């Protein structure tokens, strides 16, 4: 649960599995186990966000927190095809990503899901695209905001090098709006230098995907990612 993800002395790494074939089904299990091994070996806080159909499989196999990639702003009842917060919890989710740039939500629904996460003692990670939306998201009181300039997502060009001002601006804005909220960053992050630069700019961790999932050796890539923090 939330206490598993309290930010201790190490930053946090959240690996978003997205819908890559390399992180689907049995391969989701393999990747999550690699994340577990690296977390055990290095002591770095890690979490994974598999696809919904794989969430139960993954949460049964690892101790590290497992997050949903999205939860819908719906109560139990007639909402065919929606993802119910209680169902995600019962499947082993410790929380959820919210408003990822590949799954954008309306403001009212973002707020609804954050408050449902609080009620269920689950973690909320609201994804944003710039400093302004990060400040707005922080006002809603999530556990984390993760700022990710969409144009860098999947590019291999790390936000910590290409747009450092987005990180520093987001950290400063969140400190003013709601210092309880932890700031993560993502987009193009793949190496230890990228992660160190992000942490040096004030981020308390990273949210990433392709740099690890599509690496020749996801294990080696993950070990390098956390090697300098
Ligand atoms: O959720 C993190 C993701 O959007 C970043 O993607 O492939 O640039 O690490 P990537």
Buried b (16+ CB within 10 A) or exposed e, 68-101: bbbbbbbeeeeeeeebbbebbbebbbbbbbbbbe
Q: With a 6 A CB cut-off, is 210 part of the ligand 1 pocket?
A: yes
Element (H, E) at 186: strand 182-186
Q: With a 6 A CB cut-off, is 14 part of the ligand 1 pocket?
A: no
Cα distance between residue 114 and residue 59, in whole Å: 21
Element (H, E) at 117: helix 107-119
Cα distance between residue 170 and residue 206, in whole Å: 14
How many angstroms is it from 76 CA to the middle of ligand 1? 31
Q: With a 6 A CB cut-off, is 142 part of the ligand 1 pocket?
A: no
Label residue 2 by pLDDT band (50, 70, 90). very low
- Does 3 have pLDDT greater than 90? no
The alpha-carbon radius of gyration of the chain (Å, integer) is 16
Label residue 1 by pLDDT band (50, 70, 90). very low
Q: With a 6 A CB cut-off, is 73 part of the ligand 1 pocket?
A: no
Low-confidence winner among 6-10, 89-93, 130-134, 168-172 (lowest mean pLDDT): 6-10
Q: Is 80 helix (H, G, I), strand (E, B) or coil?
A: coil
pLDDT in tens, 29-77: 999 999 999 999 999 999 999 999 999 999 999 999 999 999 999 999 9
Which two three-digit tokens encode residue 70?
């999205």
Give the pLDDT confidence score for residue 82 in this predicted structure: 98
Which atom of ligand 1 approaches the CA of 188 most closely?
Answer: 8
Q: With a 6 A CB cut-off, is 184 part of the ligand 1 pocket?
A: no
Q: Are 46 and 35 in contact (CB under 8 A)?
A: yes
Q: With a 6 A CB cut-off, is 195 part of the ligand 1 pocket?
A: no
pLDDT in tens, 87-138: 999 999 999 999 999 999 999 999 999 999 999 999 999 999 999 999 999 9
Test site for ligand 1: of 152, 188, 225, most ligand atoms within 8 A of the Cβ: 188
The count of residues in the chain is 229
Between CA 110 and CA 115, with CA 114 as vertex, the angle to 5 degrees is: 120
Instruction: Compute the average pLDDT of residues 128-157.
Output: 97
Q: Is 13 helix (H, G, I), strand (E, B) or coil?
A: strand
How many angstroms is it from 207 CA to the middle of ligand 1? 6
Give the pLDDT confidence score for residue 10 in this predicted structure: 54
Domain boundaries, the chain: 8-225
Cα distance between residue 175 and residue 103, in whole Å: 26
pTM, to two decimals: 0.95
CA distances (Å), origin 95, targets 3, 17, 155, 178, 213? 11, 15, 27, 20, 21
How many angstroms is it from 108 CA to the middle of ligand 1? 24
Which atom of ligand 1 approaches the CA of 152 most closely?
Answer: 8
**What is the architecture of the domain spanning 8-225?**
Alpha-Beta Barrel (3.20)
DSSP 8-state secondary structure symbol assigned to residue 189: -
């Amino acid at each position: 649960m939330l206490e598993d993800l309290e930010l201790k002395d190490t930053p946090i790494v959240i690996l978003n599995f997205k819908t890559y074939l390399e992180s689907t089904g049995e391969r989701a299990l393999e990747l999550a186990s690699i994340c577990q091994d690296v977390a055990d070996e290095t002591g770095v806080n890690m979490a994974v966000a598999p696809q919904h159909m794989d969430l139960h499989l993954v949460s049964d196999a690892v101790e590290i927190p497992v997050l949903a990639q999205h939860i819908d702003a719906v109560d139990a009842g007639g909402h065919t095809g929606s993802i119910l917060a209680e169902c995600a919890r019962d499947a082993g989710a410790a929380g959820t990503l919210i408003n990822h740039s590949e799954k954008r939500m309306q403001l009212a629904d973002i707020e609804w899901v954050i408050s449902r996460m609080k009620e269920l003692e689950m973690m909320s990670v609201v994804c944003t695209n710039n400093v302004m939306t990060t400040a707005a998201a922080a006002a809603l009181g999530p556990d984390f905001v993760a700022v990710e300039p969409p144009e860098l997502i999947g590019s291999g060009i790390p936000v910590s090098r290409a747009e450092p001002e987005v990180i520093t601006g987001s950290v400063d804005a969140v400190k003013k709006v709601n210092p309880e909220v932890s700031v993560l960053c993502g987009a193009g992050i793949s190496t230890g230098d990228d992660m160190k630069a992000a942490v040096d700019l004030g981020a308390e961790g990273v949210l990433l995907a392709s740099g690890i999932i599509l690496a020749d050796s996801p294990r080696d890539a993950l070990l390098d990612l956390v090697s300098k923090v």
